[in-house]
Amino acid sequence: MSAAGWSEAIPVKWARATKVIARRVAGETVLVPLDSHASDPEFKGARLYVLNETGEFLWSLLDSPRSVTELARNLTREFVTAEDRAIADVETFLVALRDIGAVREMTRGNGE
């Protein structure tokens, strides 16, 4: 995954995966994998993820498929951050969410 500044030739788009549900819990956005199970049933241990403010903003944008460039551009409009830093942050965010199955890469073959 990479983005060449604002001018990606064939932008890969990203969208929310259907195997994760975002919940508002105690004022925060928590990502809950649908197949989440207790790593230790006695103590109810589970790996769950809470989005910070930037993450919540990016997650809200991912209700429809977006490229790294689009996400980064929106990030620079909403938060005080440089373009390069925004792209790096978006890429880090997407990789982290992809690894827990929260987002998926949309290819041209599937109509996106």
Partner 1 sequence: MDRFEERLGARARRARQPLSCLFEITPRCNLRCHFCYVALDPYQGPYLSTDQACRVLDIVERTGVLWLTLTGGEIFSRRDFAALYRHALGKGFLVTLYTNGTMVSDEVATLLAEHPPFSVEVSIYGADAEHYEATTGVAGSFVRFERGVDRLRRAGVALLMKCPISTLSATHVRAMVQWCADRGLPFKADPVIDARHDGGQQPTLYRIEPRQVLALRDEIHELRHGKPRVAGPLPECTVQGDDDGPEELYTCGAGRVAFFVDALGNASHCVIDREPSFPILDMAWDELWAAMGQWVTQPLPATAPCSGCSLRGGCSNCPARARLATGDPYSKDTYQCDITHAIHGLPPARHTHITARPLAACTA
Binding site for partner 1 (CB under 8 A): 21-28, 30-32, 34-39, 41-42, 44-52, 55, 96
Cα–Cα separations (whole angstroms), residue 61 to 42, 46, 56, 85: 37, 27, 9, 18
* Minimal distance, residue 30 CB to partner 1, in Å: 6
Cβ proximity to partner 1, 56 vs 78, nearer residue: 56
* Minimal distance, residue 90 CB to partner 1, in Å: 14
* Minimal distance, residue 111 CB to partner 1, in Å: 25
Contact status, residue 19 vs residue 101, Cβ threshold 8 Å: yes
Cβ proximity to partner 1, 37 vs 77, nearer residue: 37
Contact status, residue 62 vs residue 70, Cβ threshold 8 Å: no
Residues in a beta bridge with 21: 32
Cβ proximity to partner 1, 53 vs 112, nearer residue: 53
